[in-house]
Amino acid sequence: MKDFSKIFILVILTSLPVIGQQLPQFTQYMYNTIAVNPAYAGSREALTVVGLHRSQWSGFLGGPTTKTLSIHAPLLHEKIGLGFSFINDELGYENFSYMYGDFSYTIQLNEISKLAFGFKGGFTAFSIDDELYLSNPNDQSINRLENRWIPNFGAGVMWLWERGYLGLSAPRLVNNSYSKNTSYQALERISYYFTGGYVFNLGFSTKFKPSFMVKATNGAPLSTDISANFLIFEKLWLGTAYRFNNIAGALGFMADFQVLRDWRIGYTYELPTSEIRPYTNGTHEIVIIFEAFKSRRLETSPRYY
């Protein structure tokens, strides 16, 4: 199989005057909301640690690989939430690392709903593998790119109630550039996220949770994720997901299991629906969730988002 990184990355770097880097995407976005909305920090009312690994378009050498680790918890009678997230995203020769802290403040609106405001701040690290420069020493467009640590910040708001949520956020609000040359720009683009979900009771042992995430990025196609999950006996989640996107559309199948009182593990297999489908074996995503110091209220009324 041909090296995807050379086919894809070199064409983009040498053919376009502007490159826009977007945050990596996840099929199990509902378990990793803090990556895109800082208002989510502390909302699960427990110390929550989430680890996720995503291998996109397996079968391509240099296909996107993403690793993320996040931790967040509530403080001060659950009015304040603090969190930290680390994301490493590799695409061919390009490497991005996101290290951001999160702060949220929650206002209780009434007995069943609350409004949370969040702020995110940190750094994005960008680097290019030396192999790219060595194999293309005379390509001036590549030589204009540089390894950089770039500060950025974001904000978000969430309306939460016992059975559902709605959120609006922009995790990075500054258009940073990775290039010194003003005629050739490699930009960190602003993305806006609109998320939501709700949990329905279908009987004594089954619950149904539809959710969605809409992402709008300047200079990129609109991306919409929708999912439908069923919870069986408060232990096993089973569901499907679909992404509407001209470049990276996909159909996914998810399973998530409560292996221990504080531990959950989930797996997703995703099939592309775009023109890239004949050339890949699909996408694999694994998530591990650990929660501790849960309040007594959560024991009788657990959280589903």
Please list the pLDDT of the chain residue by residue as tens digits (305 residues).
444 444 444 444 444 444 455 677 888 888 889 999 999 999 988 999 999 999 988 777 767 899 999 999 999 778 999 999 999 998 877 888 999 999 999 999 998 899 999 999 999 888 877 666 556 666 655 555 567 788 999 999 999 998 899 999 999 998 877 665 554 455 677 899 999 999 999 988 999 999 999 999 877 788 999 999 999 998 999 999 999 876 678 899 999 999 998 999 999 999 988 777 777 888 999 999 999 877 666 655 677 88
**Ramachandran region, residue 114 (left: φ > 0; alpha: ψ -120 to 50; beta: rest):** beta
The CATH code of the domain at 4-300 is 2.40.160.40
Q: Are 228 and 215 in contact (CB under 8 A)?
A: no
Among the listed residues 156, 81, 77, the one whose alpha carbon sits nearest the alpha carbon of residue 117: 156
CA atoms within 13 A on the CB side of 43: 36
pLDDT on residue 272:
87
d(CA 86, CA 24) in angstroms, rounded, equals 12
User: Do 231 and 198 contact (CB within 8 A), yes or no?
Assistant: no
CA distance 120 to 100: 6
- Model pLDDT, residue 140: 59
The structure's pTM equals 0.86
Q: Quick one: residue 38, left, alpha or beta (phi over 0 = left, psi -120 to 50 = alpha)?
A: alpha
H helices present in the chain, as ranges? 4-15, 130-135, 140-143, 296-300
